[in-house]
């Protein structure tokens, strides 16, 4: 048996290629939309992908299931659990589509894959138990847990309500998750490998570890959320529902397209290079400009009017794009070069943003005089909150959990991922001083609010009060 983990560092997502080297058949679990990456890896290992399986209807990326399903030779394995509201709609009557219930299994070459219904994160969620029969094993080697069990954490049960808008399900989901953790994991030995769908940086949990895999025995000993679920269900429900970060608005869209369907494209579109004149024309017509620079001070000093700061080589690019744009919004990129543009196109494709019109280089934009806008910026070291409170309003764009633990006196809470949804609640007539814990999230938020015509001052650098609170509680800031 061959097992390979494929990591997307920008969405903190793990997919898995599991192959039978004797027959050359392979399975992909939880693929992203750009399936060429899995096809290439399979070919490098003399495998052909014959099966695709999903643990659940994903909220943070477009599944590659539909792209794979365009081939009649690929078998698709999806959950039949969770009730009628959580059945996949897009496959219709497609041949070679198989719906699994708890205990159902299928073969990939000489490897047995068994579905284990693990609800709580979502009602339909299943995990996949992997047994290498061809290698002589009579017990499973691994459990692909999707968003059920992570390294150091468990899946969050609030997303159906906080992201998808299904009212009144948060607490019942948490109780269901506690029961799943107790009952579904109990039969398995400590040596069982745990293959999670996400790592540190994902919004699908609040304390995910940065270690790519783990074992069930290790998690039983050191995963505080799992231990709490096993020992005290009521305490677990209270703990798991507190402090979860606000999900980006695009999570609701991902839930819909992964259940109902999205356009099959056959691959990532090319990154179209624009002339200065083409870029200016499309921007004048209202296209959404994403500036991929990492240097937020440089962006604040000079950028295209209305552009949003979306640093490419970080998870903030996908979060900013998904939080501030709609699916078919016409978009333009300002990138360093073609390699950056291609990476940006791939990241947009992964979250279903198909409205990209093209890109222009930062150097060309600067030489053409297109970077004429700036945002007033002040370093936190020189920032006077009391004076700012007299001149306008302080806007804290960290999560509400962070805000509740402590904030600059007089500040208002507007998490940066929710700004598009809460624009009408902002004090539009006031001068807004935008801050976060380090300056990174505030840079995104300031550019978005400036795009909408609000008067903003971007407060850059470390918020010492936020840092003090974070360090005292041992949480990131």
Cα(377)–Cα(297) distance, integer angstroms:
8
The residue range of the domain holding 328 is 276-367
Report the 10 Å Cβ neighbour count for 397: 27
* Boundary (domain end) residue, out of 367, 401, 424: 367
Total residue length of the chain: 477
316-346 per-residue burial string, b: 16 or more CB within 10 A, e: under 16: bbbbbbbbbbebeeebbbbbeeeebbebbbb
pLDDT of residue 110: 98
Last residue of a domain, one of 227, 260, 293: 260
Domain count, the chain: 3
pLDDT value of residue 34 = 98
Does residue 468 share a domain with residue 330? no
Same domain for 330 and 363, yes or no, is yes
- Closest Cα to residue 439, out of 404, 396, 405? 396
Q: What is the predicted pLDDT for the residue at 403?
A: 92
Sign, Cα dihedral of 36, 42, 48, 50: negative
Domain-embedded: residue 309: yes
Distance CA 135, CA 140 (A): 11
8 and 102 share a domain?
Answer: yes
In the chain, what is the straight-line distance between the N-terminal and C-terminal CA atoms, in Å? 41
pLDDT of the residue at 45? 98
Same domain, 100 and 201: yes
Local structure of residue 270 (DSSP, 8 states): P
Q: Please check whether residue 271 lies inside any domain of the structure.
A: no
Same domain assignment for residues 346 and 464: no
Q: What is the pLDDT of residue 210?
A: 82
Q: Fill in the DSSP letter of residue 351.
A: T
- Which long-range contacts does 15-20 make (Cβ < 8 Å, 24+ apart)? 15/197, 16/144, 16/195, 17/41, 17/42, 17/45, 17/47, 17/49, 18/108, 18/111, 18/113, 18/130, 19/45, 19/47, 19/108, 19/109, 20/108, 20/109, 20/110, 20/111, 20/134
Read off the pLDDT of residues 450-464 as tens digits, 9 standing for 90 and up: 999 999 999 999 987
DSSP per position, 99-119: EE-TT-EEEETTEEEEEEE--
**Cα Rg, the chain, nearest whole Å:** 23
Q: Does 465 lie in the same domain as 339? A: no
CA torsion, points 399, 222, 199, 299, in degrees to nearest 10? 40
Q: What are the pLDDT digits (tens) for 368-382?
A: 999 999 999 999 999
Question: Are 287 and 167 members of one domain?
Answer: no
- In-domain check, residue 69: yes
* The pLDDT value given to residue 473: 57
Q: Report yes or no: 57 and 259 within 8 Å, Cβ to Cβ.
A: yes
State the residue for tokens 């806007």: 395
Q: How far apart are alpha carbons 238 and 158 in whole angstroms?
A: 12
42 and 171 assigned to the same domain: yes
Q: 115 - beta bridge partners?
A: 128
Same domain, 388 and 454: yes
**Do residue 99 and residue 215 come from a single domain?**
yes
The answer to whether residues 385 and 391 touch, using CB atoms and an 8 Å cutoff, is: no
List the chain residues with pLDDT less than 50.
477
The answer to whether position 452 is within a domain reads yes
Structural domain includes residue 269: no
**pLDDT tens, residue by residue, 216-270:** 999 999 999 999 999 999 999 999 999 888 889 899 999 999 999 999 999 999 9
What lies within 8 Å, CB to CB, of 316 at 6+ separation is 310, 440, 441, 444
Read off φ and ψ for residue 231, nearest 5 degrees.
-105, -35
Contacts of 295 (CB under 8 A, 6+ apart): none
Residue 469: per-residue pLDDT: 63
CATH number at 390 reads 3.40.250.10
Could you say which of 236, 260, 284 is where a domain stops? 260
pTM of the shown model: 0.94
Residue 266 lies in a domain: no
β-pairing verdict for 214-215 and 193-196:
antiparallel
Residues 161 and 301 in one domain: no
Residue 268 is assigned to a structural domain of this protein? no
Q: Are residues 113 and 229 in the same domain?
A: yes
Yes or no: say if 418 and 477 are a contact pair by the CB < 8 Å rule.
Answer: no
pLDDT tens by residue, 292-304: 999 999 999 999 9
């Amino acid at each position: 048996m061959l097992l390979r983990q494929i990591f997307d560092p920008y969405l903190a997502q793990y997919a898995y290629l599991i192959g039978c080297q004797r027959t050359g058949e392979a399975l992909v679990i939880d693929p992203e939309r750009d399936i060429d990456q899995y096809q290439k890896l399979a070919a490098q290992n003399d495998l052909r992908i014959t099966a695709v399986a999903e643990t659940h209807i994903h909220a943070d990326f477009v599944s590659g299931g539909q792209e794979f399903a365009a081939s009649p030779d690929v078998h698709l394995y999806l959950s039949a659990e969770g009730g009628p509201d959580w059945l996949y709609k897009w496959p219709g009557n497609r041949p070679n589509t198989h719906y699994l219930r708890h205990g159902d299994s299928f073969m990939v070459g000489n490897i047995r894959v068994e579905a284990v219904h693990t609800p709580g994160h979502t009602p339909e969620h299943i995990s996949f138990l992997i047994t290498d029969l061809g290698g002589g094993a009579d017990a499973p080697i691994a459990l692909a847990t999707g968003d059920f069990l992570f390294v150091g954490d468990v899946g969050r049960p609030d997303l159906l309500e906080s992201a998808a808008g299904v009212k009144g399900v948060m607490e019942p989901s948490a109780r269901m998750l506690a029961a799943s953790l107790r009952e579904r994991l109990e039969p398995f030995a400590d040596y069982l490998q745990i293959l999670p769908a996400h790592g540190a940086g994902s919004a699908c949990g609040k304390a995910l570890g940065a270690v790519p895999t783990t074992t069930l025995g290790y998690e039983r000993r050191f995963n505080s959320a799992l231990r709490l679920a096993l020992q005290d269900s009521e305490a677990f429900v209270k703990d798991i529902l507190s402090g979860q970060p606000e999900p980006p608005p695009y999570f609701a869209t991902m839930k819909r397209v992964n259940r109902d369907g999205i356009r099959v494209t056959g691959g990532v579109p090319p990154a179209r290079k624009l002339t200065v004149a083409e870029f200016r024309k499309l921007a004048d017509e209202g296209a959404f400009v994403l500036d991929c620079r990492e240097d937020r001070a440089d962006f604040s000093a000079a950028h295209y009017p209305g552009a949003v700061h979306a640093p490419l080589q970080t998870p903030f690019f996908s979060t900013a794009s998904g939080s501030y744009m709609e699916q078919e919004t016409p978009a333009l990129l300002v990138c360093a070069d073609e390699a950056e543009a291609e990476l940006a196109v791939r990241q947009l494709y992964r979250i279903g943003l198909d409205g990209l019109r093209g890109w222009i280089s930062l150097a060309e934009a600067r030489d053409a005089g297109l970077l004429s806008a700036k945002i007033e910026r002040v370093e936190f070291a020189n920032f006077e909150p009391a004076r700012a409170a007299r001149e306008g309003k302080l806007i804290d764009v960290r999560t509400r959990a962070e805000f509740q633990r402590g904030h600059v006196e007089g500040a208002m809470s507007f998490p940066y991922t929710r700004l598009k949804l809460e624009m009408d609640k902002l004090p539009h007539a006031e001068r807004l001083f935008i801050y976060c814990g380090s300056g990174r999230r505030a840079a995104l938020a300031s550019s978005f609010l400036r795009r909408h015509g609000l008067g903003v001052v971007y407060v850059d650098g470390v918020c010492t009060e936020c840092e003090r609170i974070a360090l005292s509680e041992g949480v990131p800031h």
